[in-house]
Amino acid sequence: MRTMFLKLFFWFWLAMTLSGIVIFLIAFNMRIGPMHAQFERRYSVERARIVCEALALYGHTAAGIYEKYGELATRNFVRHGEPHGMRAYLFSTNGTSLSGPAPLHLHKAVQQLLISGVSDIVFDKGIVSAAVLVKSPRGKMYVAAAEGVPPIPPPQVLLQGWPFTGGFWFRFCVTFVIGGLVCYGLAWHLTSPVRQLRAAAQRLGTGDLKTRVSINTKGRGDEVTDLVRDFNRMAERIEKLMLAQKQLVRDVSHELRSPLARLNVALGLARRTASPAAAAPLDRIEQEAERLNVMIGELLTLSLLESDSARFEKESFDLSEVVDEVIQDADFEAAGRNRRVKFEATVPLMMAGNREMIRRALENVVRNAVRYTAEGTAVEVTLEALSNRAVIRVRDFGPGVPEEVLQHIFRPFYRIAEARDRQSGGAGIGLAITERAVLLHAGEVQASNAPDGGLVVEFRLPLS
């Protein structure tokens, strides 16, 4: 979960789900106590009713035997016919046992029954007793009493599925899904401006200075809205500064052309009247003037590439021919420095774009590689097609570039080593022209250090 949207969605959803579960458990626990007490009361009443009915049936039979066959037969019946799990006795209405000696607590239960007239189960010092009035077949009243009343197992069907019944799980799933949808919409609404800001920042980073974020601020007065406004103001300010910078470079480059042309004319006139001793200084002036002319041309080219890309005509051309043409020129120049440029020709790779612009971009990189590769080594250039893209790699065997400045070498006027670049004639504009030309063809260029030394510059250009 790396995005803000997923984090907000997950935590909102989790919080809502856990809150629902906690609230349910609290409500359930508050309700289960009274429910359990009510169940116990109903169970006790039902238990007493069943025991009393069983004891009444037994007492009615015992009373009939007593009246018909006497006390001895009654004792024999009590010994063999009492209810399961109970020790039963038959009493007269004056509290006298008619079926043999009875425990004291049974006499107390009988006396309590005769006084209250209500049949019930009596608990006395952990001993459970029951007493009930019965009528004999002849209509005479007796008392049936018993000790050790057996417990009746509570019916399990009342609490089946506790604590979560089937209905609960259905309601939980519905709440879970609805909560997820609500949290999804809330997280999407909260992170929508952030996603737009991110996309706008990416477009601004690629050079689209007209990028602005447009969101509906009606009803929103939060910090995100303020951030959007600040971003738009920042983008507008950056656009003005960049346009002013480009205009300045363009104007300065154009203005320098006129005095440079006059300087060349004056240099030609000076050569006609100068003595032989002035030849060396004049040659130096001519060399520096030519270097200045090249720099002005590069500035104009860079300004043109950054200001108006639509003016370049596009055509279909063979990229391998362009690479081979650049390599031949570079190899010819490298031979005078005890260096070489190697390139293996491949099958034709057709692409649509500006042929001269691509040639210039590649030429800047290859010339840099020839300039910095070690003597006696060869600059290696490869061209291949990968996934409908042409990949060009230019590798030299020079000192390479420090890792911390690799991302800056395509910036205009950036120098890795000031003294070395000035001595070699570099102005720090060539690689900037290369990057801009490749970007205008929907490609990309990047530099990296080779593991065994040297710099590798890789182009990726779309094929037709």
List the one residue out of 288, 381, 386, 294 whose CA is nearest residue 341.
381
Query: Which one is catalytic: 60, 107, 189, 254?
Result: 254
Q: From CA 230, how far away is CA 345, in angstroms rounded? A: 53
Instruction: Name every residue whose Cβ is closer than 8 Å to that of residue 199 and which is 6 or more positions away in sequence.
Output: none
- b/e code 22-50 from CB counts within 10 Å (16+ = b): eebeeeeeeeeeeeeeeeeeeeeeebbee
254 catalytic? Reply is yes
Quote the crossing angle between the two packed helices 4-69 and 71-81, to the nearest 10°: 160
At 40, is the secondary structure helix, strand, or coil?
Answer: helix
Contact call for residues 456 and 448 (beta carbons, < 8 A):
yes
E strand or H helix at 22: helix 4-69
Instruction: Name every residue whose Cβ is closer than 8 Å to that of residue 88 and which is 6 or more positions away in sequence.
Output: 55, 58, 59, 62, 78, 82, 99, 144, 145, 146
User: Could you tell me if residue 167 is left (phi over 0), alpha (psi between -120 and 50 degrees) or otherwise beta?
Assistant: alpha
**Counting beta carbons within 10 angstroms of the beta carbon of residue 456, is it exposed (0 to 12), middle (13 to 18) or buried (19 or more)?**
middle
Strands 350-353 and 315-318: antiparallel
Contact call for residues 133 and 141 (beta carbons, < 8 A):
yes
Catalytic residues: 254
